[in-house]
Amino acid sequence: MSEVPTIELNDGAKIPQLGFGVYQIEPGETAEATRKALELGYRHIDTAEMYQNEAGVGQGIRDAGIDRAEVYVTSKLNNGFHKPDDARRAFDSTLAELGFDYVDLFLIHWPLPTLYDGDFVSTWQTLEEFKRDGRARSIGVSNFQVPHLERLAKETETVPTVNQIEVHPYFTNDEVRAYGQQHGIATEAWSPIAQGAVLGDQVVQGIADATGKSPAQVVLRWHIQRGDIVFPKSVTPARIKENLDIFDFELSSDDADALTELNKGEKGRTGPNPDSFDYIPS
Ligand SMILES: NC(=O)c1ccc[n+]([C@@H]2O[C@H](COP(=O)([O-])OP(=O)(O)OC[C@H]3O[C@@H](n4cnc5c(N)ncnc54)[C@H](OP(=O)(O)O)[C@@H]3O)[C@@H](O)[C@H]2O)c1
């Protein structure tokens, strides 16, 4: 199996382009899934306070017997904690749950523009503190739309290293991706296989048949060739292995274009629209 490439972020840090996502993995199953992924060769785990499984991620890394420094760990600020003091407490709790004294990357999970008087700027400035004190090696955002990124650019010191947004062949999210490309913000594509929804598509299946790869591998490879960072989630060992095995083939530009043309615009979005999403977990 070929090695996972890294991408250099705008603060000089390097992130493995493929990782393992743990959204919707039960807290009690997370340590084992994480350990399995690491055993198979993953070195990048994407979790969040909202997923309630940071403790399992930390445990899985320790169970795998791999040095903390060899694994790239991302977590995200939960929606209820945007005010600076709440964000400071929440970040302390993230580190305590993981059992580590730093994360590689910490993100604002959602911009929540209709809550907190639309103030995600003071939240971002609080993440800048975590970066300065070294407990977050890099900081970034998730689900930020172009106006949100423009506001950070105008009102704060630090350009986010990444913007983690929904991207897959049915929702290519072009405008937000293009803004990132123009401003040195790496795109992390969440739900890279649209939670399975794109895998039965005839175009995807046709390319899979022609390349001898699975539909999931074809779609993940498309993301990699576009330069995005991905972390497919699976609790199925054979799929965890399959999703990593995408570095020994290349899609032709015609095949890559055919996948891009599956874009359905807003109709293809599977998750909430960040402009109106206002969920606060209880
Ligand atoms: N920032 C955000 O707001 C946000 C939102 C959503 C997701 N994310 C991140 O992105 C990660 C990935 O997104 P996601 O979990 O929503 O969806 P996803 O990775 O696109 O899809 C996961 C689903 O696809 C199935 N699957 C995985 N590999 C497969 C394969 N090779 N063949 C067939 N089916 C396969 C999994 O099933 P099994 O598990 O049953 O095998 C699971 O049902 C998350 O885990 C999380 O880290 C972030």
- The answer to whether 86 touches 41, Cβ cutoff 8 Å, is no
Nearest of 18, 37, 62, 41 to residue 235 by alpha carbon: 37
Nearest of 209, 233, 219 to residue 25 by alpha carbon: 233
Nearest of 112, 113, 270 to residue 189 by alpha carbon: 270
Compute the distance between CA of residue 87 and CA of residue 82 in angstroms, rounded to an integer: 6
Ligand 1 centroid to residue 195 C-alpha, Å:
5
Q: Report the residue among 193, 218, 245 best suited for mutation to probe ligand 1: largest number of ligand atoms under 8 A from its CB.
A: 193
pLDDT for position 128: 98
Residue 147's contacts (CB-CB under 8 Å, 6 or more residues apart) are none
Ligand 1 centroid to residue 110 C-alpha, Å:
18
Question: Which residue is catalytic, options 23, 42, 51, 116?
Answer: 51
Nearest of 268, 176, 192, 203 to residue 225 by alpha carbon: 192
Report which protein residue has its CA nearest ligand 1's atom 5.
Answer: 190
Ligand 1: lining residues by beta carbon, under 6 Å: 21-24, 46, 109, 142-143, 164, 190-196, 199, 214, 216, 231-236, 239, 242-243, 271
Which of ligand 1's atoms lies nearest the C-alpha of 22?
A: 45
Residue whose structure tokens are 């803004």 = 179
pLDDT for position 1: 56
Report which protein residue has its CA nearest ligand 1's atom 14.
Answer: 191
Ligand 1 centroid to residue 117 C-alpha, Å:
32
- The answer to whether 121 touches 156, Cβ cutoff 8 Å, is yes
- Concerning whether 51 is annotated as a catalytic residue, the answer is yes
pLDDT for position 69: 98
Ligand 1 centroid to residue 250 C-alpha, Å:
22
Which of ligand 1's atoms lies nearest the C-alpha of 190?
A: 10
Residue 39's contacts (CB-CB under 8 Å, 6 or more residues apart) are 64
3-class DSSP string for 24-70: CCCHHHHHHHHHHHHHHCCCEEECCHHHCCHHHHHHHHHHHCCCHHH
pLDDT for position 168: 98
pLDDT digits (tens), the chain, 282 positions: 569 999 999 999 999 999 999 999 999 999 999 999 999 999 999 999 999 999 999 999 999 999 999 999 999 999 999 999 999 999 999 999 999 999 999 999 999 999 999 999 999 999 999 999 999 999 999 999 999 999 999 999 999 999 999 999 999 999 999 999 999 999 999 999 999 999 999 999 999 999 999 999 999 999 999 999 999 999 999 999 999 999 999 999 999 999 999 999 999 999 999 999 999 998
Compute the distance between CA of residue 196 and CA of residue 87 in angstroms, rounded to an integer: 33
Q: Report the residue among 15, 23, 36, 162 best suited for mutation to probe ligand 1: largest number of ligand atoms under 8 A from its CB.
A: 23
Compute the distance between CA of residue 48 and CA of residue 229 in angstroms, rounded to an integer: 17
Report which protein residue has its CA nearest ligand 1's atom 41.
Answer: 234
- The answer to whether 161 touches 186, Cβ cutoff 8 Å, is yes
Compute the distance between CA of residue 162 and CA of residue 184 in angstroms, rounded to an integer: 8
pLDDT for position 2: 66
